[in-house]
Structure 1
Amino acid sequence: MSQASANVEPIAIASRDRPPAGLVGPWAWVRANLLGSWWSTAVTLVLGYVIVRVVVGLVAWGVVHAVWSVPYGANGVPDTTVCQNAHGYGACWAVWADKYRLILFGRYPYQQQWRPAIVVGLFIALFVISGMRRFWRRELVLVWIGTLAAVGVLMWGGVFGLLPVTEDQWGGLPITLILATFGAAFAFPLALLVALGRRSTRLPAVRLLCVLYVELIRGVPLISLLFMASVMFPLFMPAGVNVDKLLRAQVAIILFAGAYLAEVVRGGLQALPRGQAEAADALGLGYWRKTGLIILPQALRLVIPPLVNTFIGFFKDTSLVLIIGLFDLLTMGKVALSDPPWQSFSTEVYIGLAVIYIAFCFAMSKYSRGLERDLNRSRGQ
Structure 2
Amino acid sequence: MPHVLSVPPGMAVTGPLGLYELLLWITFAAHLLVVNAALGGTLLALFAPGPARAAAATLAGKLPTSVAVAVNLGVPPLLFASVLYGQYLYTAAILSAVPWLSLFLVVMIAYALLYLFQPRAARPGAGLIAASAAALLLLASLILVNVSVLSLRPDVWKAYFDQPGGTVLAMGDPTFLPRWLHFVTASLAVGGLSLALYSRKAARSEAGAAARVRLGLRWFLLATLAQIPVGLWFLLSLPVGIMERFFGGHGPLTLAFMLGLGLAAASLFSAARGRVGRTAFFTAATVVCMVIVRDLVRQAYLAPVFTIESLPVAVQVGPIVLFLVSFAVTAAAVVWAVASYRRAAKKG
Range of TM-score over shorter length: 0.3 to 0.5
Instruction: Report the structure, 1 or 2, having the larger helix content.
Output: 2
TM-score, normalised via structure 2 length = 0.33
TM-score, normalised via structure 1 length = 0.31
Return the structure number with greater relative CO, CA threshold 8 A, min gap 6.
2
* Rg larger in structure: 1
